[in-house]
Structure 1
Amino acid sequence: MLVMHSVSVGTLLGNFIIVTGSFLTLMILIRIFAWSKITGIFDDRAKQISDDLAKAEEARVKAEGYVSEQEQVLKDSRLEASQIIGQANARAAHDKEAILTQAKEEAQSIKDKAREDAEAIKVEAVESAKEEIAALAIDLAERILVHKLNETERETLVDRYLDRLGEN
């Protein structure tokens, strides 16, 4: 068994040396021929990840700027809407006052016209009454001149005259 053991240790040691040598040779060949490509792939990947992170950060900053810009636009829009409503209310109040003033002026004009018309009718009625009174006076005078009236006839004539005045 001893012999087997020594052969096996020797074989084992030989195998170890061959495997180690192969491994070292493989590592040297990888270092010479493939190491730059492997590290280049890792570097490219790291650069791509870094660029993606930078783009993501830039997009986040841009989105935050856009959000704040939209908030400002919304705030400005609300302010402008408030101003427009205020102006519309002021314009409506002004228009209301103008309409009320115009209505009052028209009502006063109608009153003045009615007053003038009533005054004209009154003047016309007075003129008409004067004409009738004058006509009656002339008629009475003609009758008095045509007849010499006695006291009774005169009273009767004056009473009739006064009755005719009351009828008109």
Structure 2
Amino acid sequence: MFLDTFVLAAANVADAGFLQKLNNVDGLNLGDIIVTVFLFLLLMILLKKFAWGPLMGIMDQRAEMIANEIEAAEKSRTESKDLLEEQRSLLKEARNDAQSIVENAREQGEKQREDIVKAARNEVGRLKEEATQEIASEKEKAVAAVREEFVSLSVLAASKVLGKEISEEDNRALIEETIAKAGDGQ
């Protein structure tokens, strides 16, 4: 409506005879063409100033926002890839650590088993040695007791055989000397 009013006002201002002459040239409406071109140019200037500039600004902002989002997505993808690689390396390291812990535990268990077996063998050897010494000691005690008994019986037998009594100390010395000679002869 604004445009129609403008066209009518422009037509009233212009000389009607001049537009009539332009309109009659070779069947062309040259006046209408000039007014239309003028109005088109005026419309383009107004659109550029009031619509095209803000519209292009909005489009530029939109393009910048999309570029920023693409850049952020690319950055996020790169960070995700880096984090994934880091997690994989940490997982691999954890597996290696767990394997080394298991291996160390196995080695320590083997060493403890060997230590226990060695200690048990040492204890068996010690007990065997103690038993051998105890047996030897008991044997010596038994031999000494048998000697004492033998000496006593020999003194008793000798005193009965001789019919007289010799001092016990003399008998004992004589018998021990005889036993020592008999022991050396064996």
**What's the TM-score once normalised by structure 2's chain length?**
0.66
Q: Do residues 79 (structure 1) and 79 (structure 2) align? A: no
Unmatched 5+ residue regions in structure 1? 1-9, 148-168
Q: Do residues 115 (structure 1) and 124 (structure 2) align? A: no
**What's the TM-score once normalised by structure 1's chain length?**
0.73
* Secondary structure of 2:64 counterpart: helix
Deviation at 1:79, TM superposition (A): 0.8
How many residue pairs match? The answer is 137
Q: Do residues 26 (structure 1) and 26 (structure 2) align? A: no
Deviation at 1:137, TM superposition (A): 0.6
The alignment's C-alpha RMSD in Å is 2.3
Q: Which of 45, 53, 58 is the equivalent residue of 2:70?
A: 53
In 1: Cα distance, 2:107 partner to 2:121 partner:
21
CA deviation profile, 1:43-100 (whole Å, cap 9, x unmatched): 0000000000000000000000000000000111111111111111111111111000
* Secondary structure of 1:63 counterpart: helix
**In the TM superposition, what are the counterparts of 1:1-168 in structure 2 within 5 Å?**
22-146=39-163
Taking every aligned residue pair, what percent have the same amino acid on both sides? 32
Letter aligned with residue 107 of structure 2: A
Unmatched 5+ residue regions in structure 2? 1-26, 165-186
In 2: Cα distance, 1:27 partner to 1:62 partner:
48
* Secondary structure of 2:115 counterpart: helix
In 2: Cα distance, 1:134 partner to 1:19 partner:
164
In 2: Cα distance, 1:15 partner to 1:55 partner:
55
